[in-house]
Amino acid sequence: MTLLLRSVMVLVSAMCFAVPTFAQSGLTSSTVPDAGGSSSEPNVAKAGVVAGVHPQVAPEVSEQSWSFRHYGVGTYGSPLGFGGRIAVSLSRSVNLRAGASYFSFTTTRTVSSIPFTANVRLQSEQVSVDWYPFYGGFHISPGILFGSSNRAFGGATVPAGNSFTLNHVTYYSGTADPIQASGAVDFRHTGPTLTVGWGNWIRHPEKRKQQRHWAFPFEAGVVFNGDPKTALNYSGVVCTSPSQQFCANIATDAPVQANVQAERKRLQDDANWLRFYPIIAGGVIYRF
């Protein structure tokens, strides 16, 4: 499923919850009954008839003319990946924005003197409410990240006879069954987000001639992930000397496993810095 289609589905789902609220609170145009129960004309119109002139009244944009009537679409990039976004107006100062992001890459990182081939996969959906308190470009955007499959995972093989370290203790990979290592860092599937930024995804109905279709919004903030889950596992035969003496199964050797857990704790401490996952995002949008 393409990112654009996923963005549309996320936005439609969010609109299904928002429509009833705005339908009940939306402003509608109506006439004011007079004392006899009949509808009266607006006061400005009456004044024009009495004076014999037709004064020009500045057009007013009601909340009803905003709700789900103005749209913007675009592409966005951030540490969450690259993807599409769709925005729809809810009121004069509030937009609803939804989208999906994806990115993956492979890198190499050394853990316990072992070069791991690590795969990083970023995939998630986001919904946010953009509030423009000054009716301009500045916005504050609380939201939620969900459907996240953000994780890093990898593995390595220590060639027979090669050394590696666990918690500052040197070991050797056994020739009978070389050491296999694997690790992973997994993030929560759902988490709240908060960003601040500049750039309105919607053109103002009264300022369409002054506002361009294309815009380049920017925002920064965080995803509140909580502590990621980490895993670090070893299998095979481990030896305490290069001459392949004093060897044992690494999975059942208690002293070695204590050092494995110390390494996993170090990995967990490093990953905990990402409990507040940074968002620095920018993109190109088209406003209808």
Residue with tokens 């060639």: 159
pLDDT at 53 exceeding the cut of 60: no
Cα 212 to Cα 55, 203, 207, 277: the distances in Å are 31, 8, 9, 33
Q: What CATH number belongs to 3-20+63-287?
A: 2.40.160.170
Mean pLDDT of 195-209: 84
pLDDT at 160: 93
pLDDT at 218: 96
Mean pLDDT of 239-256: 93
Task: Give the span between the Cα atoms of 161 and 183, in whole angstroms.
Answer: 22
Task: Give the span between the Cα atoms of 11 and 191, in whole angstroms.
Answer: 18
Q: Which helix (H) or strand (E) holds 94?
A: strand 94-111
Q: Which are the contacts of 69, defined by CB distance < 8 A and separation ≥ 6? A: 89
Task: Give the span between the Cα atoms of 258 and 262, in whole angstroms.
Answer: 6
Pull the structure tokens for residue 15.
């609109």
pTM of this structure: 0.71
pLDDT at 59: 46
pLDDT at 57: 43
Give the pLDDT band of residue 64 (cuts 50, 70, 90).
low
Task: Give the span between the Cα atoms of 222 and 242, in whole angstroms.
Answer: 48
Q: CA torsion angle for 275, 281, 285, 288 (degrees, to 10)?
A: 50
User: Are 118 and 104 spatial neighbours (Cβ–Cβ below 8 Å)?
Assistant: no
What helix, strand, coil percent values describe the chain, rounded to 5?
20, 45, 35
Task: Give the span between the Cα atoms of 62 and 60, in whole angstroms.
Answer: 6
Give the pLDDT band of residue 188 (cuts 50, 70, 90).
very high
Label the pairing between strands 94-111 and 114-131.
Answer: antiparallel
Task: Give the span between the Cα atoms of 123 and 242, in whole angstroms.
Answer: 44
| Dihedral sign (CA 76, 90, 4, 222) | positive
Angle at 62 between CA 59 and CA 66, to 5 degrees: 115
Tens digits of per-residue pLDDT, 104-157? Answer: 999 988 876 788 899 999 999 999 999 999 988 999 999 999 999 999 999 999
